[in-house]
Structure 1
Amino acid sequence: MKYDLHTHTKYSSDGVLEPENIVKAAKKKGLSGIAITDHDTIRGYLKVKKYETQDFKVICGSEISTERGEVIGLFISSEIKSTTFQEVVEEVKEQDGIVVLPHPFDDVRRTGIYPEKGDIKLIDCVETFNSRCLRQKYNDKAAQFAGENGLSVAAGSDAHFAREVGKAGIITPQDNIRDALIKGDLNVFGEKTSIVNLVLTKMVKTWRTSGWGK
């Protein structure tokens, strides 16, 4: 089973991918499924879910903005309404979801949370490979933090464009992906994306938030 656990559709403020196209891209890469983790919403998941089949699973997720940085909730069932780190974690847990820290040590983007010792009991997984971390040392720091603190790991492409889907993720022999993440019964794979994709994403976000894209 091969999954990309961090992807974005057009329902993210900086996304452009149509639900059908993100599934096509994932299947082309040989993925068994994907997690849709749009910024501050699960609307993308609800659209992509329509394309789920017996052989291709779609996981409900969201990358939520907090006062400390971004948190991913996986296997959630409804919108996360809170905006503070502590309350977001509580909401995800109330939905029996998994709390993932995405790109926690990325000094270029500066949108990840820099975890502290007190956060360990709140976190389920650390994203130890994110394709958009331009310097490998950021992924390495994440892996080191997870290892030193007994935390499970996750990985994803952070795709905003079809060509990025499947660049990173996990491989597991388990059918139950949630259990695989909690138990750490998986291997991480990944390759870095081009800096061009990050620049294009910035342009998309500026275009949309300025009102030009309306």
Structure 2
Amino acid sequence: MSELTGTAATVVLLRDSDAGPEVLLLERPTAGSFGGAWVFPGGRVDAEDRVEGEPEAAAALRAGVRETAEETGLVLPAADLVPLSCWIPPENIPRRYQTWFFAAKAPDGNIRLNPGELLNHLWLLPAEALDRHRNGLMQLVAPTWVTLHSLTSDTSAAAALARIAGAEPETFRTRPLSGYEPATVLAWAGDEEYDGAGGASGAAVGGSSAPTSDPSLPARHRLVMDKTSWRYERTR
């Protein structure tokens, strides 16, 4: 098992629009980490973010506030950040950062991007961002895509934050599955193949994206990525 490289933080900023809550996405340059992708504000935890004896999540929260200010010019009170999820990459990649995701309502102010680190920004409905990805107009990575997918049914920023605050932050310890080529399939706890069953089990890959308790369905918690057509499946 490869060791984690470090800890990082990501902040999902929400604001209201006439059509529903929008999120802030930032375009990364083609060189560097997440090259060319559109991501939420965030970055690694630095030494200045740490307080001896405190858990990594506390350091990640401070890093989220700092990185958001550095990347966007928006200053967030730490108390406004709501823990959303924790993402742990597969073991077969060289640099593995455990990344804490937080959500917060965006403060008033204009976006001022960090020169050289970011190219552009957009406020989009989560469904709009997913449509852009599907149509090849916006590159997303799996944690961003799944997070956007989870926000598509919220009717306001306040409703989204209340829902997130009322749930236990989920850990997504990612494992790739074999046997589904040319599609790439990432699985998380709760999927029937997650604990070492390996490749395709012969059960049909369903199209459900909403959790269900139907015991007749195979246990699924995965993201199926076929070119730009991605599908989140969860049956438990």
Q: Could you state the TM-score of these two structures normalised by the residue count of structure 2? A: 0.27
Higher Rg: 2
Higher helix share: 1
- Could you state the TM-score of these two structures normalised by the residue count of structure 1? 0.29
- Higher share in strand: 2
